[in-house]
Structure 1
Amino acid sequence: MQFFSSPRLALGALIGLSAAFSPLAYGQTVTTIPIIQGKGDATTMAGQLVTVEGVVTGDFQWREQLSGFFIQDVKGDGDPATSDGIFVHVNARSKADGIDVKVGDRVKVTGEVAEFDNETQIAQVAAIDILGQEKLPAPVALTLPLATGSSFENVEGMLVTFPQKLTVSNNYELDTYGSLGVSLDRLFVPTNLKALGEKSEDEALRSFILDDGSDAKDPEATPYLDANGSRRTGSSVSGIIGILSYGHKSYRVHPTTAPVFEETNPRPVAPAAVGGTLKVGAANVLNYFTSFQDANPRARGAKNAEEFARQSAKVIAELRGLDADVLGIMEVQNNGNEAIGDIVTKLNAAYGTETYAYINDDPQAIGTDLIKVALIYKIAAVTPRGNPVVKKDAAFERYPLAQTFVSKANGAVFTVVVNHFKSKSPGRETVDIDKGEGAFTQRRISQAKSLLEFVNSLKQSTGDPDVLAIGDLNSYAEESPILALREGGLSHLNLLVPTADRFSYVFGGRSGSLDHAVATPELAKQVTGFAEWHINADEPVFMEYGKLTAENFKANPYRASDHDPLLVGLNLTP
C-alpha cells in the first residue's frame, strides 16, 4: 500500500501544464466546498461548472488507486452540518489529466459538480492550478457510535481520525478489494441476540469500511495482514487517520497513514475446556467430496486431487484438535462410506493408531442429496448399541442420523442425533421467502418440529432419556426454528456461553451461531460445558484450501471450513 504517493512530472512540465490549464483563464468565481456539498445527502449543484479552492489532503491519482485526489477548504464554513472536503476525479477524459498534485498543495480546480455512486465530487476537470503550499487542517475526530439519526455525510471528503480502538468485523473483501469492515465492537446478526421484531442497534452508526486508497480488484499485495498472512475478525485497529468518502454503498476511510492492528483475537490453539468424561463434537466440513469437480460436474468440493489434499489436511487437523469421543459431521459427500471412510482413515493415520470408526449407515436410507450427515466415534471410549436410525421425513433434504452409544467407562447410555437443516439461500424460492430469518424459515420450522418428534421417539425406542441433537441448523440463536426446539422442551446448550462468544459463522460482517447443540432435560443436567472453537469463521475466505497455493498452504485447522465446530462436555451417570 502507498500513502501520499503519485508519479511526479518534471518541474518545467508541471509549471507549463499548470499555467496552460489555469482556471483563471476561465474567469470563474471561486465557490466554496461547503456550498457545493450542502446539508443533504446529495449536492443540489450537480451539472454546474465551478471553480473551487482547497488544500490537497489525500493523493490517490494513480489509475490503480482512485484516479483523483481530495481537497479541503482551508478555513471551512464553521458549520458542522456541511462538509469542507471534496473528491476531484481526474482521468484520461479530463483536460487536466497529467497535472500532478501532492499532499499539502493549495490548488484551484475547475470542473463539473457531479454525484457519482452517491459521492459528491468535481468531475470533467478542465483546469488545475497549483497556488503554493498549505498546512493541512487537523483531522476531524469521530467516535462511534454516531448519534441516532446522523451519518458520516457531513464529513464526506474530509480528513478524519478515529481515536478509539475499533474491531475488525468484516474481512470478506480484503484480498479482492483491499478493504475491511470495522466497527465499535463485533457486529452480530440481530436474530442471534433477539427474536425477530425486537429492536436492534443501527449498524450504520457503529461501523464503516477501512479501505486501501484503491478501487482496483485483486491488489498485488493484500493489505492489513497479520504475521500468519491472515486478518481475523475480532482483531483490533487503532490510529485510523484518512479521508472519509462514500462508494459501493458504504462510507469508507482511505488511510493517509498506516493504521495499527492488534491481535486481540488470536488464533485459538485448542477448544475451550468443556470438562466431563466424554466429549461430543460437531463439524461442518465444507463439502468434503472424494470425487472432484474437474471430473464430476456435480461435485461440490475440491476441483482436483491437489486441492483435496489441502482440504483433507485442514479438516483432519480440525477434527484431531476437537478430539471428541463422538463426532457429528455435516457436508460430507453422500457416496456410501467412501468419503466418511476417507476421513476416518486419515484421522487414524494422524493419531498413529486405529482411534476412530464410523457409523455404517444404510445408503438407501440416508437420502439422495449430494451431501449427508455422518457420525464417527472413538473405539476406546464408547460402543454403539443397536443400529443407527434415520429420520426419513420429506421435510428434510438431508435426513437426521441417530446412534445410541454406551460409555465404556461406566456403562452410561446416551443417543446422539446429527442434523443439517435447509440453508437460508433463496435460490428460486417464491413462497417460503425471507421475512427476516432467511429463506425457507417455514421449512426449517417443520424440520425442527420433526426433530422434536424424532428425539421423543428415540427416548422411547432406546428406553433412555439422554438424547443430544447437534449440527448445522442454519438458524441463528433466537430464530423461529431454534425457539421451536426450546419451546418443545430441549435445552439450548449454546446459551451456556456469553453472547459475545456465541457465534459459529460470519456473513456480511455479522456474526452468529448456525451450529447448535440441544439436549433433553435429563441429559442437560449432565452437561459440563459447551464451546464453539473459533478457528474458521473469523478467518478470511482466502485462507480456505481452494484459495491457497502450495507455497502459502499450511496443514493447520484454520479455515478448514466456513463454520466453527462445537464441543459438548458430558459427565454421564449410568
Structure 2
Amino acid sequence: MTSRPSPSLPRTTAVATLLATALAAGLLTGAASATAAASADDAAPVRIHDIQGSTRLSPLAGRPVADVEGIVTGVRTYGSKGFWFQDPKGDGDAATSEGVFVFTSAAPTVRPGDAVKVSGTVTEYVPGGPTSGNQSLTQLSKPTVTVLSSGNPVPAPVLIDSRTVPSRYAPDGDPAAGGSINGLALNPRRYALDLYESLEGSNVRVGTSRVVGATDAHAELWVTVKPGENDNRRGGTVYGSYAAQNTGRIQIQQLAPLAERPFPKANVGDVLSGGATGPLDFNQYGGYTLTANTLGTVVDRGLKREQTRKQSRGELAVATYNVENLDPTDPQEKFDALAKAVVENLASPDVVALEEIQDDNGKQNDGTVAAGATVKKFTDAIAAAGGPAYAWTSIDPENNKDGGEPGGNIRQVFLYNPARVSLTHRAGGDATRATGVVRERGRAALTLSPGRVDPANAAWENSRKPLAAEFRFRGEPVIVVANHFGSKGGDEALTSHHQPPVRSSEVRRLAQAQTVNAFVKDVLKADRRANVLVLGDINDFEFSATTEALTDGGALRAAVKSLPRSERYSYVFQGNSQVLDQILTSPAVKHFSYDSVHINAEFADQNSDHDPQVLRFRP
C-alpha cells in the first residue's frame, strides 16, 4: 500500500500525504492546489517511524521525503552500501521502528554518531526479487545527506532476549491477500517475526548467546537467544515441526570488512561471549540479521566429531553419505578427509550409498558421464586410511539429465565390502531402463542389479534417479535403494511474507516418494519378508509429506524416528538442526541400531554439508 496513511503517522503528516496524492492525481487545481501545497509545507516533518509505519510496508513507499533527521548507527562499505540512522526520541509505539537503512550505492562518508538530515525516496526493496516470497526491506534511496554534527551518542540498542522474543513465530497470512502478512498490523508482543520487523533498521543487541549455526563461507553465524528452545546435547536447536518454529534464532554478521577484522570461527555449541550490537537488517540469506558494530568473542566448547560403533560379525551395516559434488578435480585433502570419515567415524560400513558423485572431470561440460576415476580416487583413499578394499557399482546418467551442477552429472554409487557382502549382479541396467521385481525361489529379486527405479517417470525429470541393487549378506538377500530427491531450492524462507511459507519443491519430492513407495510395495508383494532399505539424501524432514508418502501403507518406516527427538538431524540450516538424510526400513527389518553420525553439519570446517547415517541389523 502506498496511499493510505498509517495510523501511527502524525495527523499533519497524514494530511500532507493525502494532499500530495491528490495533487499527483490532478484532483486539485488552481487555488485549491495552492492551498493544498501550503498545507503540505506547514505539515510536521516526516520522521523515521512515519516511514516505517506499523505494518511491513511503508505507508510512504514510492514517495519522496525531505529532511528526515536521526543519528547514524551503522555504516556498510561493502555489498549493499549505505548506512542506518535512527530517531533518538521515538514515538512510543512498539510497532513502529525508529531506524531505517539508507541505500547510497557508493561507500557512504558518514560515521556512527553523526546527526544527519536525509532526503530521498522511500522504497521497499525485496532481497531475492519479488517472486522470492521474501519480506521487503524499507529503505531510503537516491539520498541527499547533510551532516549536522558529529560525535553524538548512538541511540541505546534494544535488547533481544528470551524475555522479549515471543514463542509464537508469525501470524497466519491474510487469505484475501494470498496468505501474505504484509498488510497486517504488527503485534511485536505476540509474534517473533513481528518483533523483528518492528526493529528493522534499529540498533539492537543480543547478549552472550549459544551458537546454533556454525560460521560459514560468507562470514556469518547463527545464535539463539533462547537457550532452552528445542536444544540438544550437542548445542544445536532442533527443528521438529512446521508448527513449532525456533523463534530465538538470529543471524550475526559484522559491519567491519573482513580485511580489517576477521570474522570469528565458531561451531555449534560454542558461545558468542559478549554477544553483538548493531543495526537489524533483512537480507535474502537468512532474513533478520544483526549487522554487528561490536562483536563478542567465541568461546570454544570443544565439540567433537562423533564415531559410531563397529558392526558385529552378524550385523549388516549400511550407510548413506552425501559427499557434496565429489570429483577428481577436488583436492586430495577432500578425498582423504572423506575417506577417513568412512573408516574412523562410520567404522567402515558393509555398504555405503554415496550421493553427489560427479563424473570424471567434474563441472567441465563436455559430455563426459563416466565416474570411474572419481570412485577409484575415493576407494583408494579409503584403503590408504586403513579401510576395506571396497568394490562399487552404479549406473552412468545421460548427460545433463540428472540435475545438479551443469556438466557434473551427479549420481548415486554403492560401495560394498566384498569380504562381507556380495552383489547379486544382473546385467542390462542403463540410464533409461527400469529394474523390475520378480519372485525367484520364493524371494523377491530384481530384474536388473544395479538398476534404476522407474527412470522414465516425470517425477525424475532433470533429477537423480533412484539406484537399486541386490546384495547378499550371510546368504540373505537385501535390496537397497539409494536416492537423492529434488532439492528444497525454490521454497520460500521461514521469514517469508507468506505465512505459512510456500514450499513449492514439495510437489516434486512427493511424486518421487510415491514412485519409490510403489516400487517397495512391488517388492513386498513378491515377498513380504524382503529386507528392503530405502536411503539417501531425501531432502525432506521426518515429519514431511514426503516421508509420509514413502511410508504409505506401512511399506517402510523412517528409522530416524527411533532416535530421541533431540537427536534427529543430519543438516544445519539457518540455525535449525534438521533431518534431510534418511534410512527407511521394510517391515522385515524389525530390530536395528540407527545412528546419525554428526561429523560435518555442526562444524565451520566441513568435508560435506551433510552428516552420514548408519543402520545396523541382522537380516
Query: Do both share a fold (TM > 0.5)?
Result: yes
Matches within 5 A, 1:44-193: 44-45=59-60, 47-56=63-72, 58-60=73-75, 62=77, 66-73=81-88, 75-87=89-101, 98=109, 100-103=110-113, 105=114, 107-112=115-120, 114-115=122-123, 117=125, 118-121=137-140, 124-130=143-149, 133-144=151-162, 145-146=165-166, 147-149=189-191, 150-163=194-207, 165-169=209-213, 174-176=216-218, 178-183=219-224, 184=226, 193=240
Matches within 5 A, 1:368-387: 370-380=409-419, 382-384=420-422, 386-387=424-425
Residue number among 284, 296, 306 corresponding to 2:322 in the alignment:
284
Which residue number corresponds to residue 25 of structure 2? none
**Letter in structure 1 aligned against 2:538:** L
Q: Distance in 2 between matches of 1:444 and 1:425?
A: 14
Which residue number corresponds to residue 237 of structure 1? 272
CA shift, 1:164, in A, is 6.4
Instruction: Determine if contact 1:340/1:358 at 8 Å carries over to the other structure.
Output: no
The secondary structure found in structure 2 opposite 1:82 is: coil
Q: Distance in 2 between matches of 1:438 and 1:169?
A: 28
Instruction: Determine if contact 2:488/2:505 at 8 Å carries over to the other structure.
Output: no
Residue number among 352, 357, 368 corresponding to 1:328 in the alignment:
352
Q: Distance in 2 between matches of 1:122 and 1:492?
A: 51
**Does the alignment pair 1:400 with 2:474?**
no
Q: Distance in 2 between matches of 1:438 and 1:35?
A: 42
The secondary structure found in structure 2 opposite 1:439 is: helix
**Does the alignment pair 1:271 with 2:271?**
no
The secondary structure found in structure 2 opposite 1:259 is: strand
CA shift, 1:567, in A, is 1.3
**Does the alignment pair 1:568 with 2:618?**
no
**Letter in structure 1 aligned against 2:158:** V
Label 1:391 to 1:475 Cα distance change in 2 as closer, same or farther (>3 A): farther
Matches within 5 A, 1:298-337: 301-302=327-328, 304=329, 307-321=330-344, 322-330=346-354, 331-332=356-357, 333=359, 335=370
Which residue number corresponds to residue 524 of structure 1? 590
Q: Deviations over 1:348-405 (max 9, x none)?
A: 2221x8x3331567889xxx9645444334455x242754633454247535333333
CA shift, 1:92, in A, is 6.1
Q: Distance in 2 between matches of 1:440 and 1:446?
A: 10
TM-score by length of 2: 0.63
Which residue number corresponds to residue 508 of structure 2? 439
Label 1:72 to 1:453 Cα distance change in 2 as closer, same or farther (>3 A): same
Q: Distance in 2 between matches of 1:108 and 1:148?
A: 34
Instruction: Determine if contact 2:58/2:124 at 8 Å carries over to the other structure.
Output: no
Q: Distance in 2 between matches of 1:282 and 1:51?
A: 60
Label 1:456 to 1:313 Cα distance change in 2 as closer, same or farther (>3 A): farther
Which residue number corresponds to residue 344 of structure 1? 379
Which residue number corresponds to residue 356 of structure 1? 389
Instruction: Determine if contact 2:531/2:586 at 8 Å carries over to the other structure.
Output: yes
Q: Distance in 1 between matches of 2:396 and 2:111?
A: 69
Q: Distance in 1 between matches of 2:51 and 2:373?
A: 67
Q: Distance in 2 between matches of 1:224 and 1:403?
A: 49
Which residue number corresponds to residue 225 of structure 1? 264
Q: Distance in 2 between matches of 1:474 and 1:81?
A: 37
CA shift, 1:326, in A, is 0.8
The secondary structure found in structure 2 opposite 1:524 is: coil
Residues 327-336 or 498-507, more deviating: 327-336
RMSD value over aligned CA atoms?
4.3
CA shift, 1:128, in A, is 1.5
Label 1:48 to 1:233 Cα distance change in 2 as closer, same or farther (>3 A): same
Which residue number corresponds to residue 128 of structure 2? none
Q: Distance in 1 between matches of 2:80 and 2:253?
A: 11
Matches within 5 A, 1:176-215: 176=218, 178-183=219-224, 184=226, 193-194=240-241, 200-202=243-245, 205-213=247-255
Which residue number corresponds to residue 6 of structure 2? none
Q: Distance in 1 between matches of 2:119 and 2:371?
A: 68
Instruction: Determine if contact 1:374/1:401 at 8 Å carries over to the other structure.
Output: no
Q: Distance in 1 between matches of 2:521 and 2:377?
A: 32
Instruction: Determine if contact 2:64/2:121 at 8 Å carries over to the other structure.
Output: yes
CA shift, 1:437, in A, is 2.0
Label 1:123 to 1:317 Cα distance change in 2 as closer, same or farther (>3 A): same
Q: Distance in 2 between matches of 1:362 and 1:89?
A: 52
CA shift, 1:446, in A, is 0.9
Label 1:565 to 1:115 Cα distance change in 2 as closer, same or farther (>3 A): same
Instruction: Determine if contact 1:357/1:379 at 8 Å carries over to the other structure.
Output: yes
Q: Distance in 1 between matches of 2:209 and 2:238?
A: 26
Q: Distance in 1 between matches of 2:154 and 2:381?
A: 61
The secondary structure found in structure 2 opposite 1:394 is: coil
Label 1:309 to 1:562 Cα distance change in 2 as closer, same or farther (>3 A): same
Label 1:272 to 1:30 Cα distance change in 2 as closer, same or farther (>3 A): same
Q: Distance in 2 between matches of 1:323 and 1:121?
A: 57
Instruction: Determine if contact 1:282/1:471 at 8 Å carries over to the other structure.
Output: yes
Q: Deviations over 1:259-289 (max 9, x none)?
A: 3434458241x3344765433322223344x
CA shift, 1:83, in A, is 2.9
Label 1:565 to 1:65 Cα distance change in 2 as closer, same or farther (>3 A): same
Instruction: Determine if contact 1:326/1:375 at 8 Å carries over to the other structure.
Output: no
Percentage of matched positions with identical amino acids: 18
Q: Distance in 1 between matches of 2:423 and 2:60?
A: 77
Which residue number corresponds to residue 420 of structure 1? 483
CA shift, 1:241, in A, is 3.7
**Letter in structure 1 aligned against 2:610:** H
Label 1:359 to 1:508 Cα distance change in 2 as closer, same or farther (>3 A): same
Which residue number corresponds to residue 9 of structure 1? none
* Structure 1 runs not aligned, ≥5 long: 1-25, 289-300, 428-432, 544-557
**Letter in structure 2 aligned against 1:179:** E
CA shift, 1:64, in A, is 6.8
Q: Distance in 2 between matches of 1:563 and 1:456?
A: 34
Instruction: Determine if contact 1:280/1:326 at 8 Å carries over to the other structure.
Output: yes
TM-score by length of 1: 0.67
Matches within 5 A, 1:448-459: 448-454=517-523, 457=526, 459=527
Which residue number corresponds to residue 431 of structure 2? none
Which residue number corresponds to residue 551 of structure 1? none
Q: Distance in 1 between matches of 2:545 and 2:393?
A: 33
